[in-house]
Amino acid sequence: MAEDQVLTCRDCGAEYVFTSGEQEFFAEREFTPPTRCPACRRARKASRSADSGNFREQRPERNSSGGNRQRRY
């Protein structure tokens, strides 16, 4: 069982907890661990959706079967 980790946000330098539950969640989905604190993640998400006044659909390439998964973090 993993232990909680204290990570440092690379944007604001704040420390935040990456809990064992979250680690499992990320590992199961093969996500890369977050590098930002929850507040910065929210801020980034908010600014991203604010930017997309001209909303572009992101569609993953279907033809390239392979390791190119989209990662959110």
Q: Which of 11, 70, 16 has its CA nearest to residue 40?
A: 11
Rg of the chain over CA atoms, in angstroms? 15
Q: Is residue 43 part of the contact set for Zn ion (CB under 5 A)?
A: no
Whether 73 contacts 34, CB under 8 Å? yes
Give, as ranges, the residues between 8 and 27 that touch Zn ion (CB under 5 A): 9, 11-12, 14
Q: How far is the CB of 70 from Zn ion (least distance, A)?
A: 23
Binding residues for Zn ion (CB under 5 A): 9, 11-12, 14, 37, 40
